[in-house]
Structure formats: C-alpha cells, structure tokens
Structure 1
C-alpha cells in the first residue's frame, strides 16, 4: 500500500510539473530580502531549463520588472533588478509573495501584508516609468553587456521596442548589369537571376491555425520582458521563415556591438544545447545554416525571437530565445514550384 501511494505521488508530481500551464510558489521575505530572493529548490529542479538568465515579474498593477537570475551552485536567486522591485512596492520583512509562473520566463506576483494578512492595496497602483539598462560597450563579469534594441518599431503594449523584420532584399548587382557591356554583362545578369531562383527553391506554407491579435501581443510582451538582457527582438516575417530565408541585423546595433569590421563573417545561432553555424553578409544572416535553424525550430510568421550576443571574440555566438504566438507546433509544408524549362521542337 505504501509503494502504491508513493507511485501515485510521483505520478501526480510529474503531471503537475510537466502538464500544468501555470505553477506557483510563495516566499516570506526575511533576512537580506531586499538584495536577493531564493527560488524554492523544488521549483528550480523541475523548471531550471525553462528559466532564462532574466525573468519578468509582473506586479498587480500590470507593470513589468526585468529581474536577473543568478546561479549559486544548484540554487537560483532573483538578484539584479530585484532591489528596485522591492523598493517600488514598499515591501517589508515578513511580507508574503506568491509567484505564479505562466511560462515564457514570466511570473505574476501577488503581495500580502505582514500584519493584516491581506493584499497590499498599494501594489495595484504602482507607476513604472521603465527600467531599461543603457546600452554600452564592454563586458561585465565576462559576459556581454546587456543591450536594448536600437532600431525598433515601438509596440504600444510594451515600453520595450522591437524590430519587425523586413522581407525586402536588394537586387544582386549582377542582375543590374547593363546589356550594353556585352557578353560579360549578360553572364552577370544570368548569374544574378540564377541566385534568385536558388533562393526561391524552398518555399513553405503554414499549417498553423489563424492567430489572434491578442496572441501576437502576448508573444511580443513576453519577448520584450527579457529584451534588456538579450540584445534585440525580431518579429518574424514571411521572408525570414517561409521563403528567401534571411534575417537583417539592426544597423545601429551591429555598429556598436559586433566586434568585427568585416562585412561578411560566420556566426553561430544557439538554442539551448543546439547550434547552427551560418553566414552574415552585409548584416544579413542567410545561407543553409540559417534555413536549418528556421526549419528545425519550426519558426513561423509572428513568432518573436530574442537574440543575445553571447560571444564576440573570435567566434560570434547568439543565444536565441523563441516566443511562439501559438504553443502547438504544426510543421509547415513545402510548396511545390514549377521549374521553368525550355521547349525544343522535335525534328521530323
């Protein structure tokens, strides 16, 4: 009977941590609570892989604070940015906080007063002007300095700016060569045309259900919550994920934070333990490596990606966090394209 009970308990725990969309924990503030706060070890053991280096704490007022997670052995602490969260909510020792994890590295936080055991009324009326870190060169503690997007389109739902990826591509120079230059010019034009044909060989069609404006806004909000820790945010467009397969790095951001002076260079896109090496041409990421990155991660239009510069010495590495508008992944299907061919008359 005892073994059966333990078996049921393990099953219940597995279902809770793996299937529930929202999980919660509470903490009573004590000790150096205004400097850092420990995340319960059981919570860490079950969800460590889902927690990024920076999380978003959403207070009862709806405002969001970006708070860094610091690891010390097996333990995780809310640290950088936590002090501001405590001060602006006037939290005191023995106050009780409930953290509800909704996925996407975001927590909803509810606060209870130490004396009345009721919610802190003032927590619903906090005005947050925005606490984004100023971008600067250099490294801190061996890591690239956190940056915010510099060439964005402002989203009305968030104080963090995001970049809506473009699908426009400049025409190859070969295709613009004048016919007057003779045979060499014609060959150049033909070469340019062939490059466009190759880039159009693979086209995908989405099989995902239609997405709502609310789902789009939620994906942007979750990505924006960690933007100050990861670099720049990109909303995927058709030219990034269905055809063409390229992604532009913001010009101003690249000028300030990419260490290389070369126009073309290799870089690595990394999602957790998986990595894809690709090529960057004039601040445009493209090539078979980028295409594999898109296909193997089942990226689609309106999905939001956060690119964080993890290494900028000899090897340029971006850690990529993906925020999907729809959690259910339905791989896109390939579109069959007719390949133009020449027709020849048969000789009689």
Structure 2
C-alpha cells in the first residue's frame, strides 16, 4: 500500500483517540507517524477531526457567554468593579468604561455617590456624551479634595444602586495613605495619636502655587546627598536615596529643622522606605500641608550610640503660614 502522508504524532494521537482509529498499518519514525492508508480514508479522518474541533470551539464560546451573563446578572453588585487611570483632562470629567455602562445602563441614576477611603461621600452627575457617559458636576470636588494627580489609579466598586466605593493608588502601585484622611469639602485632615484631628486653613491652591513649591525645591543646592519629597501625607522616601544613603534595617532616625530635632521611625518594608512613628508630630509642628516640599539632606550617618540625622529644608506652596485648625474626631 502506498504511503500517502506524514502526520505529526500529537495530531495523530488526537485523531486516533477521538475517532477510535486503530493502529494497523502505521509506521513510526521518530516523533512522526507515517500513515499507510488510501488518500480518501485519510482525508475522511482529517475532516471528521476538523468538525470535532469546530464543535468544541462553539461549546467554549457558549460557556463564555453563559459566564458573562452569570457575572453581570446573578452576582451581587459589590462583585462588579472597574478602574480608571487619571490621564488627560481628568480634573473635569471621568468617562465610565463602555462595557460597564452597557451592563448598568438601567441601574444607574442621573447622580451617583462616590464614597472615598475615608468614609466620606461625594455626589457627581452622570452626563451623556455621544455613546459614552461621564462623571461631571461634583467630580471636580472629589478630585480637588483628594488632590488627585496624573498617573493616580482609581478602583471603583459598585456597592448598590448608584453608590460606588473608590480606592486610590499612586504611581508606586500602593494605596495612597492620605486618601484615608479626607473630609468632604475640606480636603485632607491629619490625626495624631492623641485623637485630635486637624484641617487646613490655607487658601485654595492655584497651579502657580504648586509649581512654585516644586521650582524652589528643585533649585535647592547642596553638596551633600539629598532628595525631595512632596507632601500629600505620603511619607515614602525616594528609593534611590533610601538605598544609597539610609540604613537597610528599620530603626529610629532624627529629622532636624534649624536647631530643633524630631525623632521618627524609619521603616523598611520590601523595596519601600517610609517615615512612620513621630512623622505626624513633625508634620504638625512644622505646619506642613499638601503640595509643600521637603528637601532631605544627609547630615551624618550616625553611630552605634546616635541615630542618623537628616536636615530638612521646607518649601511651601503658600509662603504665608496659617496654623491648622483643630477639629473634633
């Protein structure tokens, strides 16, 4: 009988298994199979195999459709999420993903409630724009109070009706600490271990204010190792400075402004280096607020008896210092 075709071993085994083909008249050469059959018989095998694959593909597509329907129609609302990265003109509006919009078209009212990580809530209007819907009136207040900036990453969880929980992450991929200390309409609040809360009395910031603080901090000149950090109640130290200049173990260090010293805890966790215990008192004592900048200079590396010291130079978004207002927790 004439040899008609060489079939890959894996393909042939699939054919043999699914179509119950026997192994008579088969020659094995390495990892290939030489099929000794009439051409018409081999073609029939392959055709039946193609039909089988097509049917299985249709079944998989049906399963995918069923799962999608179950997820959107049968799962509780709090299982539904979407995310948005703050890009472009995000300060003025936020476009809802079309897929989410299509699935929730009948469930969302004209106004939605956004509940931030602090537990406070903001109301925003939904506006139609072509085939899209966007968060408009009220969204700018949410952006302003949370000091959102380009590159921030927000996760929206639909809780019920038109209520969303919102989580806020920064460019490091970690949740923004300051988002848990925001009061609706008043921006960021600070809390000390004594239970007191504080809020800003400073006038609203302009774009020039923010640029001013950044420009002054960038012009800071020193021959010592240094870095700058922007105040947003985030206290993460830039990784390059931390790895090159600071201890690799968690320990207490000193922050010095002029002749006054504060002791704070330097915390090492994975690749992050943060200032923890004592940092809140440093912030309050120096009346630091969001968008202010601090330049940290390595003054000395410390000894076995004395902790490392960082000199701190403060550059404010608003030059005039207005004491923080104490509020009840």
TM-score tier (shorter): 0.3 to 0.5
What's the TM-score, normalizing by structure 1? 0.36
Higher relative contact order (CA 8 A, sep 6+): 1
In terms of Rg, which structure is larger?
2
Higher strand fraction (1 or 2): 2
